[in-house]
Structure 1
Amino acid sequence: LSGASLLILANKQDIKGALTPAEIAKVLNLESMDKTRHWKIVGCSAYTGEGLLEGFDWLVQDVASRIYMLD
């Protein structure tokens, strides 16, 4: 999976006490990841739908930008 895009959906953001995306990134130590790795963490709620489009839009754009770079 080297070079694969990594999207983390931080679900349950509609529930009081849920960890924020920044808190999750810190726990997972994402900042220490190889700088060539493309990743994003997006707060979302599967219940309300909030944040889902943002996350999937980023994923599609990230993959598409690297596919077209190869042409």
Structure 2
Amino acid sequence: MTMIVIPQRHVAAIDLIDEAIAALQTVHVAMNEPELSGDETLQSLAMVLADAILKLMPVRDEVNRQHGAA
């Protein structure tokens, strides 16, 4: 297996939120299209959802840190 290392990027929290919202909107639209119901499409949608979650987690962590929550 070939591994590729991608450098971290510095990004504003609001930009991560915008990216995650766009991904979630894409999933929502795709899930409401009857023609897009195949296994390959569902796997792609699952990957988009996972990416959106990964983008939102550091934002949540930072907001919790700022508000003293766990």
**More strand per residue: 1 or 2?**
1
Fold similarity call, TM over 0.5: no
| TM-score, normalised by the number of residues in structure 1 | 0.37
**More helix per residue: 1 or 2?**
2
Bigger CA radius of gyration: 2
| TM-score, normalised by the number of residues in structure 2 | 0.37
